[in-house]
Amino acid sequence: MRDTGEGGGGDKISKTEKDQSWIPKIIKKRVCTTFVEDSLSNGVQCQCGGARDAHASVALGDYFSTAMVNHWDSAQHSSEYPTDAFGELQFVGVSRRHSYFLRLSWDTPPSAVYNLMTGNWGLPAPNLVVSVVGGEDRTKVKTWVREVLRQGLVKASQSTGAWIVTTGMREGVGGCVGEAVRDHATAASSVSLNKVVALGIAPWGMVHNRQQLVNPQGSFPAKYSIENTSKDFCCLDNNYQAFLLVDDGTVGRRGGETRFRAKVEEYISHQRTGIWGSGSIDIPVLCMLVSGEASMLERVDRSLKTCMPWLVLAGSGGLADFLSDVLENLSLAPASNEVDGEVGPSVDLKDRVAERFKKHFPSEAESDKLVERALSIYQNRDFITFYHGEQEGPNDFDTVLLKTLVQASKQRTSADASPYSEELKLAVTWNRVDIAKSELFNGDIKWRYEDLEDSMTDALINNKPQFVRLFTENGLNIMEYLTYGRLENLFRSVADGTVLYQLLQCRLVERLGTAPPVPTFSNLQDSSNVAAGNMKSSPVADISLFEVAGVLDLLMGDVCQSFYYDALGLEQTSSKRRALKRASKLLRSDCLYRAERCPYPWASLFIWAVLQNRSEMAIYFWEMSVESVLSALSGCKILRELSKLEDETETKLSMKELAQRFENLAHDVFGSCYRSNESRSFTLLITQSQVWAGTTCLQMGMGADARLFFSHDGVQTLLSQIWWGDMKRNTEVWKLLLTFFCPFLCYTNLITFRKQEDHQQEEGGGGPNEDGQGRDSDSLYGTTIFSFSDIKNIEADAQGATSPRTAAIKGIPHSHTPPKRPFIVSRWRQFWFAPVTSFLGNVLMYFLFLLLFAYVLMVDFKPPPPSGPSNTEYVLYFWVFTIVCEEIRETFFLGIVTWRQTMRVYIQDVWNKCDLVAIMLFIIGLICRMFESSYGFGRDVLCVDYMVFTLRLIHIFAIHKQLGPKIIIVGKMMKDIFFFLFFLMVWLMAYGVANQALLYSYDPRLDHIFRRVFYRPYLHIFGQIPVEEMDVGKEWDMECTDNVTLIQGGAEPCRSLSNNWLVVILLIVYLLVTNILLINLLIAMFSHTFTVVQANSDIYWKFQRYNLIVQYHSRPSLAPPFIILSHINLIIKRNIRKVPSLKIHHFVLQLSKKETNRLMTWETIQKEDFLTAQTKIQRNSDSERLKRMSVKVDGVVKHMAENRDFDHRLRALENEMEYCSNALSWIVDTLAQGSTFKPPRPPPTLKDEFASSPNSA
Q: pLDDT tens-digit profile of 516-573? A: 443 333 333 343 333 333 333 344 568 899 999 999 999 988 788 889 988 888 876 6
CB-based contacts of 152, cutoff 8 Å, min separation 6: 389, 394, 395, 397, 398, 400
d(C-alpha 1145, C-alpha 893), whole Å: 9
DSSP string of 980-1029? HHHHHHHHHHHHHHHHHHHH-S----HHHHHIIIIIHHHHHTTT---HHH
d(C-alpha 581, C-alpha 578), whole Å: 5
How many percent of the chain have pLDDT more than 70? 81
Q: Among 228-237, 392-401, 539-548, 891-900, which range has the highest average pLDDT?
A: 539-548
Query: What pLDDT does residue 797 have?
Result: 36
618: confidence class by pLDDT, cuts 50, 70, 90: very high
Position 777 pLDDT exceeds 60: no
Query: What pLDDT does residue 1 have?
Result: 45
Measured in degrees and rounded to the nearest 5, phi and psi for residue 931 equal -120, 145
Cα 629 to Cα 263, 605, 877, distances in angstroms:
55, 16, 47
3: confidence class by pLDDT, cuts 50, 70, 90: very low
d(C-alpha 630, C-alpha 637), whole Å: 10
In this prediction the pTM is 0.74
For 1221-1242, what is each residue's pLDDT tens digit? Answer: 888 888 877 877 776 666 666 6
Our measurement of the distance from residue 473's CA atom to the centroid of its chain's CA atoms, rounded to an integer in Å, reads: 25
Element of type H or E holding 91: strand 86-91
d(C-alpha 1038, C-alpha 1053), whole Å: 10
Closest to 430 measured CA to CA, from 393, 395, 394, 455: 455
More confident position, 440 or 989:
989
Judging by DSSP bridges, how do beta strands 310-314 and 285-289 pair with one another? parallel
Cα 343 to Cα 352, 425, 1232, distances in angstroms:
18, 35, 56
- Give the count of beta carbons closer than 10 Å to the beta carbon of residue 36: 19
Query: What pLDDT does residue 149 have?
Result: 82
Average pLDDT, the chain: 80
Position 1186 pLDDT exceeds 70: yes
Measured in degrees and rounded to the nearest 5, phi and psi for residue 677 equal -155, 115
Position 298 pLDDT exceeds 50: yes
d(C-alpha 127, C-alpha 868), whole Å: 86
Q: What is the mean pLDDT of residues 587-598?
A: 88
Q: How many residues does the chain have?
A: 1257
Position 332 pLDDT exceeds 60: no
Measured in degrees and rounded to the nearest 5, phi and psi for residue 446 equal -100, 110
For the range 396-399, what are the long-range contacts, defined as Cβ-Cβ under 8 Å and sequence gap of 24 or more? 397/148, 397/151, 397/152, 397/153, 397/155, 397/156, 398/152, 398/155, 398/156, 398/159, 398/160, 398/430, 398/432, 398/435, 399/435
Burial letters 910-935, b for 16+ CB under 10 A, else e:
ebbebbebbbebbebbbebbeeeebb
- Give the count of beta carbons closer than 10 Å to the beta carbon of residue 447: 18
CB-based contacts of 706, cutoff 8 Å, min separation 6: 633, 636, 663, 666, 667, 700, 1103
Closest to 220 measured CA to CA, from 58, 1, 462: 1
d(C-alpha 337, C-alpha 354), whole Å: 18
User: Is the Cβ–Cβ distance between 862 and 869 less than 8 Å?
Assistant: yes
> SS3 for 147-159, per residue?
HHHHHHHHHHHHH
d(C-alpha 678, C-alpha 681), whole Å: 5
d(C-alpha 790, C-alpha 768), whole Å: 14
User: Is the Cβ–Cβ distance between 357 and 322 less than 8 Å?
Assistant: yes
CA angle 630/631/633 to nearest 5° reads: 65
Identity at 941, one-letter amino acid code: V
d(C-alpha 973, C-alpha 976), whole Å: 5
d(C-alpha 423, C-alpha 439), whole Å: 9
The half-sphere exposure of 1006 on its side-chain side, counting CA atoms within 13 A, is 0
d(C-alpha 920, C-alpha 897), whole Å: 27
For 1122-1166, what is each residue's pLDDT tens digit? Answer: 999 988 988 888 788 777 666 555 578 888 889 999 999 999 999
Q: What is the mean pLDDT of residues 25-38?
A: 85
- Give the count of beta carbons closer than 10 Å to the beta carbon of residue 114: 20
Identity at 67, one-letter amino acid code: A
DSSP string of 744-758? GGGGTTSS-B--HHH
Position 336 pLDDT exceeds 60: no
d(C-alpha 1065, C-alpha 1058), whole Å: 14
Q: What is the mean pLDDT of residues 495-510?
A: 90
Query: What pLDDT does residue 58 have?
Result: 61
N-terminal to C-terminal alpha carbon distance within the chain: 99
Query: What pLDDT does residue 775 have?
Result: 35
Identity at 416, one-letter amino acid code: D
Query: What pLDDT does residue 377 have?
Result: 86
d(C-alpha 89, C-alpha 1016), whole Å: 66
4: confidence class by pLDDT, cuts 50, 70, 90: very low
Quick one: DSSP state of residue 119? I
- Give the count of beta carbons closer than 10 Å to the beta carbon of residue 1175: 11
Query: What pLDDT does residue 1199 have?
Result: 78
Query: What pLDDT does residue 911 have?
Result: 84
Position 742 pLDDT exceeds 50: yes
Identity at 896, one-letter amino acid code: I
d(C-alpha 745, C-alpha 752), whole Å: 11
DSSP string of 794-828? --HHHHTS--HHHHHHHT------PPPPPHHHHHH
499: confidence class by pLDDT, cuts 50, 70, 90: very high
d(C-alpha 1126, C-alpha 1107), whole Å: 22
Burial letters 83-111, b for 16+ CB under 10 A, else e:
bebbbbbbbeeeeeebbbbbbbbbebbbb
Burial letters 121-139, b for 16+ CB under 10 A, else e:
bebebbbbbbbbbbbbeee
